[in-house]
Amino acid sequence: MTSAPIAVALDAPDLETAARWATLVTPHVSTVKVGLELYLRYGPDVIASVRGASRVQVFLDLKLHDIPATVRGAARAVARLKPAYLTVHAAGGAAMIREAVEAAPATTIAAVTVLTSLGDADLAALGIAGPAPDAVRRLAVLAVEAGAQALVCSPQEAAAVRAEVGPGITLITPGVRPAGAAVQDQARVATPEEALAAGADLLVIGRPITGAPDPGAAAAAIATALRRTSVDGPAGTSAETSAETP
């Protein structure tokens, strides 16, 4: 059975918990995500611990943002850990993104556009021209032109970003919450089914899975729902029939 295109955010309080969550979810999902807090606390050891004996992809979400030479050195340092994905901030500029891409040729560099915790008012306070979808599209185009192979955007902007950058770029969407789940600190969210329908390739889901009494069962349930959607189509009709409907 093919693993679901989900990156489970392992925002755990300790290495043992992160490794346990990874073991529980990896039969059902393609990727596990290691964020800044966990990496800073445990360093490179965390990658081996969450990867375990499985072939699961590791998404190293460090959101590098510094001068180009510093990002180049940082990307080179973590490339030896063989993460499938490494994030940088698109706002760091084209030169910075190019350095990361060149320093980690075996890793997919994913440029973060606008954090899903930010809304239009936040962008205005930061002096960034909005609204958020416009800022996301500008940063997406800049990043792809600089060599980024993936983009991180909210599911609400995925369709517009896909139209801008075409089919060859991987779209990663945080801010994904199953129907009925708490929004928490995310401002621009969608359900997993909505995110895939909008053109996302990899869905970042954290607390709805890791905060469940059984993270493995929660991951399996979401994966099953996504497979059902891919077969039946978003309205419950077959994908073949949906494709023929004007």
Query: Among 111, 185, 108, 196, which residue's Cα sits nearest to residue 146?
Result: 111
If you search the block for the tokens 């075409």, which residue do you land on? 166
Our answer to whether residue 82 is catalytic in this structure is no
- Cβ–Cβ < 8 Å for 220, 210: no
33 is in an annotated binding site: yes
β-partners of residue 170 are 150
97 is in an annotated binding site: no
Q: Is 67 annotated as a binding residue?
A: yes
H/E stretch holding 187 reads none
Sign of CA dihedral 123, 129, 134, 138: negative
- Give the C-alpha separation, 35 to 63, whole Å: 9
64 is in an annotated binding site: yes
On whether 177 is known to bind a ligand per the annotation, the reply is yes
206 is in an annotated binding site: yes
Determine if residue 156 is labeled as part of a ligand binding site: no
CA distances from 93 to 8, 58, 60 (A): 28, 25, 20
| Ligand-binding site membership of 186 (annotated) | yes
Q: Rounded to an integer, what distance in angstroms lies between the CA atom of residue 155 and that of residue 188?
A: 7
Please tell me whether 103 is known to bind a ligand: no
Residue among 63, 55, 242 nearest 152 (CA): 63
Q: Is 185 annotated as a binding residue?
A: no
Residue 69 counted as an annotated binding residue = yes
Of 17, 63, 164, 230, catalytic: 63
Report the DSSP beta bridge partners of residue 110: 87, 150
According to DSSP, the residues that pair with 111 across neighbouring strands are: 88, 151
89 annotated to a ligand binding site: no
Q: Which residues fall in the annotated binding site for substrate?
A: 11, 33, 61-70, 116, 177, 186, 206-207
Q: Which residues fall in the annotated binding site?
A: 11, 33, 61-70, 116, 177, 186, 206-207
Catalytic residues: 63
